[in-house]
Amino acid sequence: GAVVSQHPSRVICKSGTSVKIECRSLDFQATTMFWYRQFPKKSLMLMATSNEGSKATYEQGVEKDKFLINHASLTLSTLTVTSAHPEDSSFYICSADTGAGSYEQYFGPGTRLTVT
């Protein structure tokens, strides 16, 4: 149980275009979803926290107009990287928790974004 999927697993896009990454909880309802960014050989940096039906809470330094997060349902959150640039190339990982009383996040397999 508690499986989180991400799509796509890898994406290459041209500079200036936008790309959408989906995060789905497959067998549970995710009250909260988290989006992380991971640079090569680095740790995970929390970008934002999203709750279903409300606006995402972004961490300091993360541009909310560039990284659009939508948590439209209890099983789906999307991250859209708008007007992507090469410096946005990274590994993006989402996670989800099951709500009140849950102390654990379940992680997706990650999405490798390369902007050329």
Among 11, 13, 44, 68, binds another protein (CB under 8 A): 44
Q: Other C-beta atoms within 10 Å of 109: how many?
A: 12
Helix (H, G, I), strand (E, B) or coil at 98: coil
Q: Tell me: does residue 50 bind another protein (CB under 8 A).
A: no
Among 49, 70, 80, 82, binds another protein (CB under 8 A): 49
Does 52 bind another protein (CB under 8 A)? Our answer is no
**3-class secondary-structure state, position 88:** helix
Question: Of these, 6, 77, 78, 90, which contacts another protein (CB under 8 A)?
Answer: 6
Least distance from C-beta 4 to another protein, angstroms? 8
Pairing status of strand 76-81 against strand 67-73: antiparallel
Give the Cα separation of 104 and 116 in Å (integer).
36
- Alpha helices in the chain, H assignment, sequence order: none
Q: Which residues bind another protein (CB under 8 A)?
A: 4, 6, 32, 34, 41-44, 46, 49, 91, 93, 95, 97, 102-105, 107-110, 112
